[in-house]
Amino acid sequence: MDAIRKQASKLREQVARQQQAVLKQFGGGYGADSVFADEGEAQQHTKLEKLYISTRAAKHFQRDIVRGVEGYIVTGSKQVEIGNKLCEDGKKYGVENTCTSGSTLSRAALSFAKARSLMEKERGNLLKAFGTQVAEPLRAMVMGAPLEDARHLAQRYDRMRQEAEAQAIEVSKRQMKLRETSGNGDMISRLEAAESKLQELKSNMGTLGKEAVAAMTAVEAQQQRLTLQRLIAMVESERSYHQRVLQILDQLEREMVSERQRIEGAPPPVIESSMPPPPSYEEVNGIFMRTPTVAELVETVEHFLAEAIQSYRAESETELNLSTGDYIVVRKVSNNGWTEGECRGKAGWFPSEYIEKRDRVLASKVAQVF
């Protein structure tokens, strides 16, 4: 509609110029150009056109922001719903898990559910902020009275300007007829009435133009200020949301990594001579060249079951390979950090810190030892 209106205005101006050229050719003294001979009036008209285009573009941008935010809220609400369902599933598993080998995963599931609940709460707050701080204020301005009132003033000014153009042409025609004829009192009075109406239109048009320019200028400034403020509010809300979510995720990662390290444990770095070699035959069997101290003797222990808490790779034929989760029958424990045991039909030495004693073991696990 705006394009059609602009095109129609150009056509009217073109017709008016053609009519004025014809009138001037025959010596007309009062053409449409005389209505806008004042430079201030022309500048006012140009400024009003620019203001109209500027406020229209800002209005469309505000509407685009509102539509985008509304779409984001709809999509985000669905994500909150899915996230809360995942939170409930994690909490249910953490409470009801009956795993016989430990509760590590249960604790991790509960931590995950708690963190997810906090994150979805933050997402809900973000969506609420988008609605109240961004969409609602911009929607109110798009549909608000100040903008519509200013645009109506501009449109009234445009119609009055067109009427003044037509009246100026009418005055020129009457002046030409009066010169072509001897003239009479009736023609003169009609010309004077037309000129008087033209002056009145010019006066009203000037006053209305100033009011329209002032109103449109105020609206333009308000549009620029409010839209920028809402964009900043949107950026700040989203930035705060991501910062809080990052804090939640950092805490969750620390908790879950701690649980993983507790059950798996990262193997210590291999350093030459960091651990003494396995006990010798003499040490194991109590054959010494001198009288040994109590600390030097191999501890006498009853056989017990232990579980490998991390893998170990044998470096000699007297050592035993271990994999995480293997069960071992421990037969001897040396005071220098080595233990001798049997696993999967093989016997050998391995570092004591790689196993943990188990008091209860499933029968199926015991069968794997032999």
pTM of the predicted model as reported, rounded to 2 decimal places? 0.56
Nearest-5° Cα angle at 11, 10 to 12? 90
Domain 304-357 sits in CATH 2.30.30.40: yes
Kindly report, residue by residue over 278-287, the tens digit of the pLDDT: 665 555 555 4
3-state secondary structure of 99: coil
How many C-beta atoms lie closer than 10 Å to residue 58's C-beta? Answer: 20
Q: Which pairing describes strands 327-333 and 304-308: parallel, antiparallel, or unpaired?
A: antiparallel
Residue 367 CB burial class (10 angstroms; 0-12, 13-18, ≥19): exposed
What pLDDT is stored for residue 181 in this prediction?
77
- Name the residue ranges covered by the structural domains of the chain: 44-265, 304-357
Cβ–Cβ < 8 Å for 318, 349: yes
Low-confidence ranges of the chain (pLDDT < 50): 19, 22-32, 266-273, 287-298
CATH of domain 44-265: 1.20.1270.60
What pLDDT is stored for residue 286 in this prediction?
52
Same fold, 44-265 and 304-357: no
What pLDDT is stored for residue 277 in this prediction?
61
Cβ–Cβ < 8 Å for 23, 169: yes
The Cα–Cα gap between 118 and 61 comes to 34
